[in-house]
Amino acid sequence: MKPERLVDLLNQLLLGNRESEWLEFKENNSKPEKLGEYISALSNSALLNEQEYGYMVFGVKDNSLEIVGTEFKPKDVKIGNEELENWLARLLNPNTDFKIFEFCYQGKNIALIKIEAAKIQPVAFKNIEYVRVGTYKKKLSDYPEKARKIWGNSVVAAFEERVAKDDVDEDEILGLLDYTKYFELLGIKLPTNKSGIIDKLIEEKFITRKNSSFQITNLGAILFSKNLNQFDGIARKVVRVVLYEGKNRITTRKEHMESKGYAIGFSSLIEYLNDQLPRAEKIGTVFRQDLIDFPEIAIRELVANAVIHQDFSKSGTGPMIEIFSDRVEITNPGKPLIEPQRFMDHSPQSRNEKLAHFMRRIKICEERGSGIDKVISAIEDKQLPGPDFIEEENFLRVILYSHMALSAMGKDDKIRACYQHCCLKHVSNEVMTNESLRQRFNISKQNYSMASRIIADSIKANLIKLQDPDGKSKKLARYIPFWA
């Protein structure tokens, strides 16, 4: 925040002529522990008083509001080797956005902490929740009626609607967001004046107007930021690409961070990945050709899914793409909302609907529900092993495998590919047969028993079933997914 804005903010806070449940004045700080307790109390009390933020100001007498200045410089304070700000953030639960500012007011040093109001639940410091009662800091557990109100008033705003950067002016917005790319991607003529650009960004909810200034929303920042590292709350959401030597993580060969917003950085990210993916060499009649093992549409769709469907509430981590000599692993934070086995048929669900909608508008991802179908279809066209969708407690990992002979595939690999083939046939209004599975694996007709064995194993795994259980002919048997 610019110094003149900080001066304006302090003037506004002084207008009330007294402290409140969401505003604390002090001359100097006593202990870091007390500071953490105050942040908890002011965050919770800001919610109770319907304020966006709570504030703690150092350099002002709390009784007379006389500006006396402060010797407290929070940005210089360390607890052990850890900076105060990081130490406080680590001990607050849930993650609470607060910002520390140091500036000069009427020739005196001022320190100001701006604290976001509680959102999902009461904010605790060292696992103890605090609240303000009048101008006193108390344990929330002693005031159950206030605790009930906090839980009752907590509104979980969608990630896209939350503020990524507060109190910015028009020039700062145009410096932080690549607005020209927005108009280019949508094929809209660039307005001839600044106000026309700002109005369009407001219309898209990339920014919101707040009094005489603006706020950049997470939606605007995550899509069109020139550099995500300029936004504290989403800096860790950059897409990370890691290339390894061989088939394990022992030796890292190269690392790349795509720090642009997802809308403006997606194409260059896909180009970078295509340049790094393992290649097979094909010798033609005249020239040697480098052939990428992985279909671009599969890479494109799975990377888009990883950025769109990630759980932004999982702090400290973002989408990651790992490239090995024999596979690509694409990981995003958060459990999937749909069971991986039902990705192809289930009605689509998204945590981040506004983000997903805009990415569809600019053709970065497929229409609702068609993306994974196209991934599996492209994988089958290249006769690659079926991708593995692995659901863990806090993330989803998708593994794409490079070409592998059927004889080299394990039983689970064959069953997974068979199930995915059966699903693809079903959502395409077709059915799987022994013949269609032979085509999927490039099995010759005389080796139909190999396909029969894979089908039998898949039935035993309860992933597919006979369309007509009473049918007499095995030769004409048709198969459908277990959920059909």
Q: How many CB atoms lie within 10 A of CB 300?
A: 23
What are the domain boundaries of the chain? 3-156, 161-230, 238-404, 407-484
Tell me the pLDDT band of 131, cut-offs 50, 70 and 90: very high
One of 3.50.50.60, 3.30.565.60, 3.40.5.10, 3.30.470.10 is the CATH number of 238-404, namely 3.30.565.60
One of 3.40.91, 3.30.950, 1.10.10, 3.40.50 is the CATH number of 3-156, namely 3.30.950
Please report the pLDDT score of residue 156 as a whole number: 60
Please report the pLDDT score of residue 241 as a whole number: 98
**pLDDT over 80 at 354, yes or no:** yes
Say which residue, 152 or 459, is predicted with more confidence.
459
Alpha carbons 181 and 225: distance in angstroms, whole number: 10
Alpha carbons 363 and 478: distance in angstroms, whole number: 36
**pLDDT over 80 at 288, yes or no:** no
Please report the pLDDT score of residue 232 as a whole number: 86
**pLDDT over 90 at 314, yes or no:** no
Per residue in 35-75, pLDDT (tens digit) is 999 999 999 999 999 898 999 999 999 889 999 999 999 99
Mean pLDDT of 198-227: 95
Per residue in 366-395, pLDDT (tens digit) is 656 568 999 999 999 999 999 999 998 889
Task: Give the rounded percent of residues in the chain with a pLDDT score beyond 70.
Answer: 95
Q: Which residue has the tokens 């909608």?
A: 357
Least confident of 20-29, 249-258, 259-268, 276-285: 276-285
Mean pLDDT of 202-229: 95
Distances (CA, A) of 176 to 16, 224, 344, 369: 34, 8, 38, 33
**pLDDT over 60 at 194, yes or no:** yes
**pLDDT over 60 at 285, yes or no:** no
Mean pLDDT of 151-174: 85
Question: What is the CA angle 94-96-100, rounded to 5?
Answer: 155
Question: What is the CA angle 436-439-440, rounded to 5?
Answer: 90
Length of the chain equals 484
Please report the pLDDT score of residue 50 as a whole number: 87
CA-based nearest residue to 267, from 400, 363, 402, 397: 363
Please state, rounded to an integer, the average pLDDT across all residues of the chain: 92
Judged by DSSP in three states, 247 sits in coil
- Residue 63, exposed/middle/buried by CB under 10 A (0-12, 13-18, 19+)? exposed
Mean pLDDT of 199-211: 95
Judged by DSSP in three states, 10 sits in helix
**pLDDT over 70 at 287, yes or no:** no
**pLDDT over 60 at 407, yes or no:** yes
Least confident of 25-29, 70-74, 344-348: 344-348
Least confident of 49-63, 211-225, 288-302: 288-302
Query: Which numeric CATH code is attached to 407-484?
Result: 1.10.10.10
Tell me the pLDDT band of 286, cut-offs 50, 70 and 90: very low
Alpha carbons 28 and 420: distance in angstroms, whole number: 65
Tell me the pLDDT band of 164, cut-offs 50, 70 and 90: very high
CA-based nearest residue to 46, from 96, 94, 98, 118: 118
Per residue in 138-148, pLDDT (tens digit) is 999 999 999 99
Alpha carbons 146 and 165: distance in angstroms, whole number: 30
Least confident of 74-78, 267-271, 357-361, 471-475: 471-475
**pLDDT over 50 at 98, yes or no:** yes
Per residue in 431-466, pLDDT (tens digit) is 999 999 999 999 999 999 999 999 999 999 999 999
Alpha carbons 344 and 420: distance in angstroms, whole number: 9
Mean pLDDT of 260-280: 92
Tell me the pLDDT band of 283, cut-offs 50, 70 and 90: very low
Say which residue, 111 or 31, is predicted with more confidence.
111
User: What letter would DSSP give residue 347?
Assistant: P
